Amino acid sequence: MRIIVAGGDGFCGWPTALYLSKQGHDVTIVDNLVRRKYDDELRSNSVTPIATLEDRVAKWKEVSGKEIKTFIGDLNHYDFLSEVFRQTEPEAFVHFAEQRSAPYSMIDREHAVYTQTNNVMGNLNVLYAIKEFAPECHLIKLGTMGEYGTPNIDIEEGYIEIEHKGRKDTLPYPKQPGSFYHLSKVHDSHNIMFACKIWGIRATDLNQGIVYGLHTAETRLDPMLVNRVDYDGVFGTALNRFVNQAAIGHDITVYGSGGQTRAFLNIEDTVRCVEIAAENPADQGEFRVFNQFTEWFSVQDLAERVQKIAKEEGLDTQVKKIENPRIENEDHYYNAVNTKLRDLGLEPHLLTDDVIRDILRTAVENKNRIIEENVLPSITWK
């Protein structure tokens, strides 16, 4: 299958591109390399040293014998995107190419506008490119469980049956996003659903939980193929941030009460979920939603698990609660449905002590790269 992985230089996109290539698909990466520029802007970095995209794909060809083509450019430039579609004739378009950080979107007006413009307009360009150049192409779009928020009812997979004044209908599940970033994902979902209805596009929205982990079988093949690990208060998600705090002997900092509960997913399952979606495409005109996660945990639970493994590794670290920089419910009901991907064959990799230990040991090996002042939050929702 001819597959474009947009955002293929990033944390989710890179291992996905390698995995799909290994499975025998004809993979093309499209990326504007802006994720690397965010590091420069924020004076941050990946804990693991990251090679250039050019060197990465060259090393992949060396170790696997398989070629991944690359196009460096921006989805917001429609002439560029049109040429990519003309040259590759994609059968599936995996869309990771969006600004993915809630804190980044909340820095100020400029970053909020950038996030929504980059994400929503880029996604609209992809929809128009599919309509114009590849109407049979299946859009596999990375959404987020954060679109739903934390309602006091069970979270269904995309849709909910409603009875109102004696009548019933199946409607999109209500959205309660918690940042300008999450709002951009909601706008994407609405635009994709509309495009499917009017143009007959086929699309799968993968509402992904928070991804953790580091290695996949493919990224382990050579140090130059290693994935990035973010730890800072802007791009570092809870588990990775806690692990890297422990690695340098810093307190593990929990926002507020720590009762915030979120859905989580191993990076090894991210790549498999994309494959499942590609091999089982949505029908023509269908906007399909999968909740892409395997477990859920509270922030406090994660912190205590990291502390336990750190102590087993000889690292003395304490769990400390700090003021929550976000505006969010800290203690709430959480129960989300995630059956569709399992029904199609997903066999989850769960969060074991060994998984945490693997990330921690990598962080310890590279702790000289961790910039200590970056492990605490610097952005508030207020």
Alpha-carbon Rg of the chain, whole angstroms? Answer: 20
Categorise residue 279: left if φ over 0, alpha if ψ from -120 to 50, beta otherwise: alpha
**The tokens of 233 are what?**
């208060």
Instruction: Tell me, yes or no, if 181 is annotated catalytic.
Output: yes
Which residue out of 19, 181, 255, 334 is catalytically annotated?
Answer: 181
The phi, psi pair for 261, rounded to 5°, reads -115, 135
Residues 204, 281 contacting (CB under 8 angstroms): yes
Residues 300, 257 contacting (CB under 8 angstroms): yes
Residue (of 379, 366, 360) closest to 213 by Cα position? 360
Instruction: Tell me, yes or no, if 185 is annotated catalytic.
Output: yes
Instruction: Tell me, yes or no, if 231 is annotated catalytic.
Output: no
Categorise residue 46: left if φ over 0, alpha if ψ from -120 to 50, beta otherwise: beta
How far is 99 from 97, CA to CA, in rounded Å? Answer: 7
How far is 144 from 264, CA to CA, in rounded Å? Answer: 11
Which residue out of 144, 204, 261, 270 is catalytically annotated?
Answer: 144
How far is 84 from 132, CA to CA, in rounded Å? Answer: 12
The phi, psi pair for 162, rounded to 5°, reads -115, 135
The phi, psi pair for 100, rounded to 5°, reads -110, 5
Residue 91: CB atoms within 10 A of its CB come to: 17
Which residue out of 185, 204, 231, 362 is catalytically annotated?
Answer: 185
How far is 349 from 136, CA to CA, in rounded Å? Answer: 32
Active site residues: 144, 181, 185
